[in-house]
Every structure is written in C-alpha cells, then in structure tokens.
Chains A and B, each alone.
Chain A
Amino acid sequence: MAYTEEELKKELETKEYEYGFYTDIESDTFPKGLNEDIVRAISKKKDEPEWMTEWRLDAFRIWEKMEEPEWANVHYEKPDFQAISYYSAPKAADPNKSLEDVDPDLLEMYRKLGISVDEQKKLQNVAVDIVVDSVSVATTFKKTLAEKGIIFMPISEAIQEHPELVKKYMGTVVPKTDNFYAALNSAVFTDGSFCYIPKGVKCPMELSTYFRINEGGTGQFERTLVVADESSYVSYLEGCTAPSRDENQLHAAVVELIALDDAEIKYSTVQNWFPGNAEGKGGVYNFVTKRGICEKNSKISWTQVETGSAVTWKYPSCILKGNNSVGEFYSIAVTNNFQQADTGTKMIHLGKNTKSTIISKGISAGKSQNSYRGLVQIGSRAENARNFSQCDSLLMGNDCGAHTFPYIEAKNKSAQIEHEATTSKIGEDQIFYCNQRGIDTEKAIALIVNGFSKEVLNKLPMEFAVEAQKLLEISLEGSVG
C-alpha cells in the first residue's frame, strides 16, 4: 500500500492538470498546486457562471502579489501552497439526494463523532447542512425554511440559483484584497453555506453546519455568507471536528455576515479541529477571516469556543456602520500541549450610539501559547460610542503563556471605553476545597474552568453549550500536573 501511495504522490507532483483528475475509490481530487488553470477548473467543476470565474481569477491574481502575514504571535512551519490539492469531493456526495440516500458509511462516521443527522433533524429541531470535504451531502429542513422564504443552501448552489444575491453581497464585508488568506479563499473556495433571511422573518430554528476535513492533504476553503434582511433574526451554529492526521492541514475560511436595518444575527462556533498530538506533531492550521457589518439598529453577536487546531489565527469582527448598532464577541479559547492561538476581535465603531461588548476567556495549559489580540476603534463621527472589554487568562502549569494585545483607538470625545485584563491561575485553596468534598482534582479543575468560562458558555444555544462544556473538559484532560 505504502508503495503505491508514494508512487501516486510522485506522479501527482509531476503531473499537470490536463492529464486528468486523481480519482481513487472515495474521492475525486485535483492535482496538487495552485495556478490559474486550477482556479478555472474549480470554477468549471462547480459549473459556475462567467462572472464567478472572473471573480475567482481576480482574487487569485491579488493573492499572488500578497505575502503571508507574520505579525501574529504564532510560530509554525509555513504551508507550501503548491503542495496542497485545492479540490476534493467525496464520491458519494450528490446535493440533490435526500438524507436517506446518503452513503451509510458517511453517516456512520458522523455517528462516531457524535453528530447524528437523524437526531439533529428530529430531536433538536436543527437544520443541518453537512459539509464533508467541500461538498454538501445532506441538506435537511429545506422545505420548512423555504415556506418562510429563508434560503439556506450550499454556496455553490446559491451561485446557480440566487446569483443576484450572491453577487450583491459576496466580498462586500471581506473584500478579496483584505488579507492573504481571504484572497486565497476567494480564489479557491469550494463550498460553504449561504443563508438569506427575508424582511421581517424570524428564523424558527437554529441553522447549523458541520464541517469536517476528511481527505489527507486537502485544505478546506469554506465560504459562508449570511444575509439578514431588514428586521429579521437568525441564529447560526457552526461546529467543527476533524479526524487525526499527521501532516498539517490548512483551513482558511471566510465568513461574511450582513445585518441590514433592525436585523439580528447570532453566530456561534465550536471549533475542535485536530490540535496535533501531545508532542505537537500534526494538527490543523486554522486561518479564518470572519467579519460582519451592522446597519441601523442591527446587532451581530459572535460566540466562539475554540479548543482545537494546532495554530489558530482568527478575529471575528464587527463593523458597526449603522447608528445604534450593537456588536458582541464572546470567546473561550483553550490551548493545551503545543497549541498556539492568536484570536480576538475587532470592533469598528462608525455609527452614532454604537455599542460593543468583548468578553474573552483564554485558558492555557501544557506548553501552549494563547494570545488575545483585539482592536476597538472609535471613528470621529461615532458619537456616544460605548465599549466594554474584558480579557481574562487562566494559566495552568508553568510552561504555557498568555498574552494580550489590545489596541484601542479613539477619535471621538464622547466615546466611553473600558478595558480590563487579568491573568491568574487556579488557586490551590479552590482545589483543596473541592478535594475536601470528595471531588478529585481533575473534576475540580473542570468545575473551576467551567465557572471561569460561564459568562461565555451562557451565550451559546442550549445544545451547543452542553457540547462545549464537554469539549472543555476533554481538551484539558491530563493537563493537571
């Protein structure tokens, strides 16, 4: 087996695109490397209209001129962008199939990961748009949503069916030129979700996507676009799991949220990509650009629980453009072993009476490095802007680090900004108190960590909160020393 795989790899490295696609039993993968032909091929594969192909090519040309950012407080071996295959679709996937038609093997895999599609569908009232290796394989509850006029579909379908909406909003919040990874994503994104809530509609259920990276050596480039029209409401969940891989996998997603007048978007993420093993080998590189724009009286709320990935580079942000708009950011970032996280938010206050809240909890254990990096910017016309930021770090053990890089820029005299940060450890007396009452140290730590992160956990939708709590416990397992 090993022999043939190596052979194949070698062949692929030398082969050009025109010699055809790499196809084994399960998936259909492009040769490694990135050039204009690959971008065109992705677009063709997706049956995209001309304007989309041009959009991608434009992004690719911009990306070629850009350099990988180095300012983040993370150290890693830079991925070789020519050694990645930019497209891979599971063989069994067909977006038109109903849930019953899905390959039982795939369903089994979800079950192992604790994501039962059936359960989600029936019990939790969640419409799930599952993404395995870049192509949606099952879409549920589409009908119920359609009755309300809500569009929730893979973005590739949306490009076909609602080109006017995609064209109007895509790239307006995160332009192609925004940063290195956003440009890359714009050029090669293969799938993701598109969601549109019409005027005055309150989405009756939590929308949810589960992403997974399946094929070794393929990067995932998801693109999510959520548009909430005037006076609408949507709560969107995003959860991630990934199986163990030895080589580093790249994940460069772009998420754009657009909240029009009086709309509200709540976006929750649980991220649990493979963090690498205890020696720091392997793990996912998570370089994500997430940003939302708020029009008048609207609100965007980001909640994230980050426990996975070897390297995280992620700053979900809000542009508070409209008057009276509100931005919120609640985050828990847990790093263990050799994980590195540089995460935080940007709150750009442009409109009058805009408000933002930032609550960030960082927990570092093992030999990990955890950084909060945030920007609060008050524009000169943002009268009565208000911000409150709180960054708390918890250190476990003596080999890890906690860092805070808060940038605060105020250009308006009526602004009111508060920033607070603390760093502490779990008190011995707290542990002692628990031990005394028959709670072992590991459980005690889980208890204390849960208490520490409660403010953020409370913001998660119910079913996510339970999952997240478990995740925290799992990620910190064995960190007591």
Chain B
Amino acid sequence: MDLKDKLVSSFMAFENNVDVDHPVHDVRTEAMKNFEIKGFPSKKEEAWKYTSLNSLQKIDFSIFPKQDNALDYKDVKKYFIHDIDTYKIVFIDGIFSSNLSETTHDGVDICLMSSALTKPMYKQIIDVYFNKVASKYESLTTLNTAFSREGAYIYIPKNKMPKKPVEIVHFATGNEASLMLQPRNLIIVEENAELQVIERHQSLTSNEVLTNCVTEIFAAKSANIDYYKVQNDVATASLIDNTYINQKSKSFVNVHTFSFGGKLTRNNLNFYQNGEYMDSTMKGVTILGEKQHVDHHTLVHHIEPNCESHQDYKGIYGENSTGVFNGKIIVDKIAQKTNAFQQNNNILISDKATINTKPQLEIFADDVKCSHGCTIGQLDEDAMFYLQSRGIPEKEARALLMYAFANNVLESVRIPELKARINKLIAKKLGVNLGFDL
C-alpha cells in the first residue's frame, strides 16, 4: 500500500479520536477530499521540478505512534537554547510533553493547538484564523489540514510581548521504525505586539522520520515577529515545512532558516502582504554535504502599495548534495511603490554537488523597484592566497571565507545566544574550530 492510500484510509481511524461535530472537522474533511484528488506532488509539477518525493512514498510510515514516549531533559538539553530562559512547547513523537514544556496563559497564550481546537473559549479565534491563510489547494498543506490536531498555539494580545522567546521543538524518539508527523501551528500576534520563536525538528535515532508541518502566522497592524527555523536533523529525517504568513499594515516579519541537516528538506515560505508600509524579510543559510537535499521555495505576494520585501539566501554545497532555491515575487497592479529585493548566492565546493535556482518575478505595477540577483561561484582565490600567505592553513582559510560569505544573514539574528549556537553549528558543519565566534 503506498503512502497516499495509507493516509486516506487512516483518516477514518483519525476521525475516531477527534470531535467530528466540531466545525473544524468540516475543514478537515474538505482538505482530505482535496488531498485524495491531488495526491503527492510529482516532479511534473513546476513547483516540484527539482524535488522528488518518490522515495519517501515507498517507506511504510506509521501515521499514529503506538505509545506515549518520555524523554529526560538532560538527554535532550543540547537541542534547546539552554543558556537562556525560554517558553517551551515540546512534542515527543507528535504528542505534547508537559514534562519538558513550559507554557503560559499569563497575559499571553503560549500553549497547545489541541486545546485551542477543542476548548470553547478559543472557538472565536479558531473561527477567524484557523486555515485562513494556509492554502486550500496545495496537496501537502491540505494533507496536514486533514490531520490537524496538535501543534503550537500562540496568541499575543494587543500591545503585549512575552517575557522570553518561545521554543517549539519536535522530537522523534525512533520507537517506531518509521514515523510520519504532521504538526500544525497557529500563531496570532495582535496589534503592536511582539514575538520571537525558535522552531526545531529533531530525530534522536536513525529511524526514518517524515514531518509535514504547517504553520499559520497572522501579524496584525504594527506587529513584530521574529521566526527562526533551525534545521539540523539527522540524515534519515525529512521535513516538509509549509509556512503561511498574513501581514497587516506596518508589521514586520522576519523569518530565518538555517538548513544544515536532514535528508530532504523542503521549505515553502509564503508571505501575503495585506496592508501598507510593511516589511517582510526572509533570510537563510544552507550548508549541505553527503546526499542532502534542501529546497527553498519562497513567495512574496505584494498586494498593496508602499511595502518592502527582502530575501537573502546563501548556500554552500558539498559532496553529493543538492540545493534548490525558487523565489517568487508577485507585485499586484495596485501595489505601487513596492521595493522587492531578492538575493541568492551559492558556492559549490564539490564536483558532485548540484544547485538549481529560479528567482522569479511577476510584476504588474509600473512604479516599483524590484531586483533579483543570483550567483554561483567559488571562493576567491586571491583571498585564499592572502590568508594562506599570512599563515592561516588552507582548511581554516576556506572556512573563514565561508563564514564571511554567510555572515550577513547571521547579522540580523536578534537573539545573541541563538546566533552563537548557529555559529557553532556552522563551524562544526565546516569541520573547523576557529577558536572564536563571529
């Protein structure tokens, strides 16, 4: 039985465990219908031209973990940004772990999707926001919608700011031979409120894991959101991460994606700008080796005038790795005075590595400034010589230049401890110890 059939038939089993009379369930049923028709995307589809899901579909993933698993904090401490205090929403094999988490209802709601979807007090918010920005047609998003039950739920009311950043961490214990997870997150930041989120998916063994995650983010007027995605999973973990962001006037949303690990990673990052004078920033550093595959798919839809968007993705590809960047900017007819910038720079350090990039512009307004730049190249030989002639060994010199290459993405990380952590990850990935942090 292939994965699609398995998922379709599991839906009935899933229905036994949720409240089928709740209005959300109509949304799920509708989404399931769409997935049943569309199935998994194939390489024939333009959006999936460079990423194949065929091999994943052959794996017999369990859709529901059989038992509750527990983890000790000391065993997984290293996966948290433990040097600062954070709110934590932790899931083990898709199930909430109250033991590892630290949630709150003190002025802000940082809690669980399962309670938001079932408790009457949240019904009004769910009615307004749930599945309102996520695509109702993209097959993997609808698959997630159909099985949406658990994930992080964050609600920041007007003029509030949580005391500390929020960490959303998903662990896969490997108690199942192969596991498919479908977390669903909903984040609402009201007018003039602020939020910082760090998200991470971590597999603890080398058993196969496939995560199909959907995050909906609503940034109201003058809201300010920083979202950091740390992707440094083991070589048997695959991630399809779908993020949909709806922005209102004068809001700022920054998304940073750090992709160092995993077998197959697909990031669908979609920004919809419903308002004026706002800024959307997406930045990414990708460093790959082995047979890793990372596909960054971004969309910025400029719907109204006077907005900005900035994209900056850097990639370093070694060994047999494959990188894909597909950035799309749409500027609607009325979205005059839009400034949309896109930059994608890549370095190939191995003969067997591949990079496919497609920076795409679709512009319908005339008074706009839009540009995209894309480069594929190598490290500057002169710079290498300069460093080596001053006694820096080749390997370190190379790493230093790569650091410099990726650095302007790191500059905008606003949590210093996270920045330090990312620096360490980069050093480790490049296989050097420079003895200092940038």
Contact = CB atoms under 8 A, between A and B. Distances in A.
Interface string B346-375: 101111111111111111111111111111
Contacts of B372: 404, 419-421
Given A395-B363, A400-B366, A413-B350, A420 B358 contact: no
Contacts of A406: 358-360, 374
Contacts of B359: 404, 406, 419, 421
Contacts of B363: 393, 395, 401-403, 423
Nearest to B352: A380
Given A416-B378, A417-B377, A399 B358 contact: no
Contacts of A416: 376-378
B376 A410 contact: yes
B348 A420 contact: no
Given A393-B363, A399-B333, A400-B366, A417 B358 contact: no
Nearest to A365: B366
A82 interface: no
Interface in A409-439: 409-425
A404 B354 CA distance: 22
A413 B349 CA distance: 6
A421 B371 contact: yes
Contact of B362 (A403, A412, A424): A403
B75 interface: no
Contact of B376 (A393, A398, A399, A415): A415
Interface of A: 71, 378, 380, 393, 395-425
Contacts of B364: 400-401
B21 interface: no
Contact of B361 (A378, A414, A418, A423): A423
A369 B362 CA distance: 10
Interface in B307-359: 333, 336, 346, 348-359
A425 B348 contact: no
Judged by DSSP, the binding face of B is: strand
A401 B362 contact: yes
B411 interface: no
Nearest to B331: A423
B46 interface: yes
B374 A419 contact: yes
A410 B358 contact: no
Contacts of B352: 380
B357 A408 contact: yes
Nearest to B351: A413
A55 B101 CA distance: 72
Given A415-B377, A423-B368, 5 more contacts: A380-B351, A393-B361, A416-B376, A417-B377, A425-B367
Nearest to B364: A401
A403 B329 CA distance: 10
Given A380-B352, A411-B354, A416-B376, A425 B371 contact: no
Nearest to B360: A405
A347 to B, nearest CB: 13
Nearest to B328: A405
A418 B376 CA distance: 7
B368 A409 contact: no
Nearest to A415: B376
15 contacts: A395-B363, A398-B333, A401-B364, A403-B363, A404-B359, A405-B360, A406-B360, A411-B353, A413-B351, A413-B353, A413-B378, A417-B375, A423-B368, A423-B369, A424-B369
Contacts of A409: 354-357
Contacts of B366: 395-398, 400, 425
Contact of A408 (B46, B356, B371): B356
B128 to A, nearest CB: 33
Contact of A418 (B46, B369, B374): B374
B374 A405 contact: no
Contacts of B46: 71
The bracket for how many chain B residues form the interface is 35 or more
Contacts of A419: 359, 372-375
| Top 5 A-B pairs, shortest CB-CB distance | A395-B366, A413-B348, A417-B376, A419-B374, A425-B366
Nearest to A416: B377
Contacts of A410: 346, 348, 354-356, 376
Given A399-B333, A409-B356, A404 B348 contact: no
Contacts of B377: 415-418
B353 A423 contact: no
Contacts of B365: 395, 398
A416 B348 CA distance: 10
Contacts of B376: 378, 408, 410, 415-417
A394 to B, nearest CB: 9
A406 B359 CA distance: 6
A88 B158 CA distance: 74
A339 to B, nearest CB: 15
Which of A400, A403, A413 has the most chain B CB atoms inside 10 A of its CB? A413
Contacts of A424: 368-369
A401 B359 CA distance: 17
A378 B375 CA distance: 13
Contacts of B369: 423-424
A413 B363 CA distance: 33
A122 B46 CA distance: 52
A99 to B, nearest CB: 48
Given A398-B333, A408-B356, A409-B356, A417 B374 contact: yes
A107 to B, nearest CB: 44
A408 B351 CA distance: 16
Interface string B378-394: 10000000000000000
A288 to B, nearest CB: 22
Given A412-B351, A415-B348, A425-B366, A403 B361 contact: yes
A417 B374 CA distance: 8
B249 to A, nearest CB: 22
A415 B358 CA distance: 17
Contact of B370 (A396, A398, A407, A423): A423
Nearest to A418: B375
Nearest to B349: A413
B221 to A, nearest CB: 27
Given A398-B333, A398-B365, A423-B361, A407 B373 contact: no
A401 B368 CA distance: 12
B361 A408 contact: no
Contacts of B355: 408-410
A420 B374 CA distance: 6
A407 B364 CA distance: 21
A191 B46 CA distance: 36
Contacts of B356: 407-410
Interface in B409-432: none
Nearest to A381: B351
Contacts of B378: 413-414, 416
Contacts of A413: 348-351, 353, 378
A380 B352 CA distance: 7
Contact of B358 (A71, A378, A402, A408): A408
Contacts of A401: 362-364
B335 to A, nearest CB: 11
Nearest to A422: B371
Nearest to A427: B367
Nearest to B371: A422
A420 B333 contact: no
Contacts of B354: 409-411
B17 to A, nearest CB: 42
A407 B348 contact: no
